Structure 1
Amino acid sequence: MIDQEKVSNSFKTIIKPDDLLQITITALDIEAVRPFNLAAVNLSSTSNTAVGQAQQQTYLVDTNGEIDFPVLGKIKVGGLTRDETINLLKSKLSPEYIKDPNVNIRIANYKISVLGDVNRPGSYNIPNERITILDALALAGDVRISATTK
């Protein structure tokens, strides 16, 4: 039996090179946050027009652990937790650019790997930073009947 008091459900995701960060800045002054929330759109090569829905811009963490953020420029986020990155961005934005900014960060390419005797072993992108072992097994098509426990 597992002693639930000894199990820690808290964890901290560390941002690393090749992470794609989706960063949204909000505040009461909508015009003040506009330069920090760039939309990414696809351009049609034939008509030179935007196609599809606008998506939030993602920022690739480079090999130096930096992102190139609008207006602020290069910011070192590699090695920081999500909360530390939020606090860093807030300190760079307020009060010079935005009064009381709200910063939301999501890792857009967060992935897990499921290995072993499952129907579809491999890597899977997941929409958030938490997944249960049962959800991971469901993504991989469940455990095969031939799997054994030791």
Structure 2
Amino acid sequence: MRFFLCFLLLTLTSCACFASKVYVYRNSEGVLVFSDTPQNNNAEEIKLNTKPTIIPREKTDILNPRSSASNNPVVEYNIELIQPSAESTIRDNTGSVYVSGRVSPALPANHQIQFILDGVPQGEPVGRTTQILRNVFRGEHTIQMQLLDKTGKVIASSKVITFYVHRNTVN
């Protein structure tokens, strides 16, 4: 019992330490300084929000058994290729092309991205919007991203981007 009382007393006193005030002021060099004690008359007390802020990422109806897939609205996805940019030249002697894109709204966990180089799918669909294409020959190429649902059906596509690969040759 004595141990429990000591533990309780220590816990309560340590909570008081964490509840101290925080002040902010500018020093003589104009730099913002944060402190637990006011250093001059210009110090302002900062009110801290002690409650954690939790923002849900997306609305879910897990607890609502009456909701069904037929009631959910169809989501329009916007897919855009960021790299390589249109009509850009990539100079890489190994033929590596770094492709990145953006999907909005965010890419769902059960959807995948397929990268299409010159009309040919590159590898298996992946769950990310970046890919490294290896050993791309020199010359003009086209790249496109496709968003696939869990069944493999294409539900959205990016614009087709043309880019050029420049590889040094020995003459």
Q: Same fold (TM over 0.5)?
A: no
| Greater helix content | 1
| Greater strand content | 2
Larger Rg: 2
Q: Structure with the greater relative contact order (CA < 8 A, sep ≥ 6): 1 or 2? A: 1
Q: TM-score, normalised by structure 2?
A: 0.21
